[in-house]
Chains A and B, each alone.
Chain A
Amino acid sequence: MSKEKQLKEFEFTLSEPVTIHKSGQSVPAAKILLKCPTSKQQRDRLIIKNGFLNNKNQSTATETGIEKKAKDIIDNLTESQKILGGLFSSKTADEMDEILNAFRRLLLDGCGILEGVTATDHYLNQIDGDDFDSMLGEYIANFILPSWMRKLMQS
């Protein structure tokens, strides 16, 4: 069985650029580099992983017999969109708040880089809410899901 190399980082394009401070200027940043968490971010990584894995055991929208048209839409969603849909449909607001806060702390702890500048609260506060949710979905799809799949394949 070949070992796929773990993706270390990927870039997410924001729908609305945020203003960051770089080299003495206020400049727009349209992309954020998301980095794979390390053992340093253990607690926050586990909150997100646990939130996602607990969701895997719950029924998805396709299993509840919805209309074919809605099913077709869901079948055309990206992996990250499906992950987000599953999370939001199965978690309470408090649970999602905890997962999103853990994700935010990961970004502040070096896992979020805006045009070469480490993310701060001020920068993250400017990000559109939907963008932030989408970033979480992509983060899980690119880092948490492959990690979980690898463990399943190794067992």
Chain B
Amino acid sequence: MSQRALTNSQIIVNGITYTYVPNTLDVDPGRGEQDVKATGGGGGSSETVYFENVESNIGCVKFELYTRAVDFTAYDLWKTLGNLNVILVIDPKSNLTLTYQGMANTNLVSFPIGNDKTVPFEFKGDPAIF
């Protein structure tokens, strides 16, 4: 049976929907990194040990916008709110909703002005709820 990939999800930041450059949305639900190592018990026996690196339990949302006047206002608000932004990533066709709370716009943002120029935004905060 054929499955459908997520290709055109909706981004809502603080209740406002933003249109973004297609194919630039990247979401990390923030479940972090894990590792498995082996320990030896002698006589050829071994046992695995599971590690969770909770340092990496950070939700992350990245997307790019074209340089538009409205984005300066949005950027100013996002930076002013600090870590009090809320982001929803919604895929209407599959009813998948990722909710990111406590998000901060962390990257250094510059707005290139010219034809076909885009501005990357990166938000980090609490792991996603879905």
A contact residues vs B (CB 8 Å cutoff): 20-26, 117, 120-123
Closest to B85 in A: A24
Indicate if the CB atoms of A25 and B16 lie closer than 8 Å. no
Picked from B16, B86, B129, the residue with its CB within 8 Å of the CB of A24 is: B86
Is there an interface contact between B102 and A21, defined as CB atoms closer than 8 Å?
A: no
5 residue pairs, one from A and one from B, having the closest CB atoms? A24-B84, A21-B86, A120-B15, A24-B102, A122-B15
Q: List 12 A-B contacts (CB under 8 A).
A: A21-B85, A22-B86, A24-B81, A24-B84, A24-B102, A25-B102, A26-B101, A26-B129, A117-B15, A121-B16, A121-B17, A122-B17
Tell me if B58 is interfacial: C-beta within 8 Å of chain A.
no
A25, B15: Cα distance in complex, Å: 11
Chain A contacts for B15, CB-based, 8 A: 20-21, 117, 120, 122-123
Residue B19 CB within 8 A of the other chain: no
B83 within 8 A of A: yes
Contact for B12 among A23, A25, A122, CB less than 8 A: A122
Q: Are B16 and A120 in contact (CB under 8 A)?
A: yes
Q: Which of B101-117 contact A (CB under 8 A)?
A: 101-103
Say what secondary structure dominates the interface of chain B.
strand
CA distance in complex: A123, B15 (Å)? 7
Tell me, in angstroms, the Cα distance from A24 to B101 when the chains sit together.
6
Q: How far is the CA of A148 from the CA of B83 in the complex (A)?
A: 47
Chain A proximity of B82: nearest CB distance (Å): 8
Further contacts, 14 of them, CB under 8 A, given A22-B86, A24-B84, A25-B86: A21-B15, A21-B85, A23-B84, A24-B103, A25-B101, A26-B99, A26-B129, A117-B15, A121-B16, A121-B17, A122-B12, A122-B16, A122-B88, A123-B15
The distance from the CB of A113 to the nearest CB of chain B, in whole angstroms, is 12
From the candidates B17, B83, B86, B125, name the one contacting A26 in the complex (CB within 8 A): B86
Q: How far is the CA of A21 from the CA of B129 in the complex (A)?
A: 14
- Complex Cα distance, B101 from A50, in Å, reads 43
Measured CB to CB, the closest approach of chain A to B128, in angstroms, equals 11
Query: Which of B1-40 touch A at CB < 8 Å?
Result: 12, 14-17
Residues on the B chain within 8 Å of A117, using CB:
15
B73-130 interface with A by 8 A CB criterion: 81, 83-86, 88, 99, 101-103, 125, 129
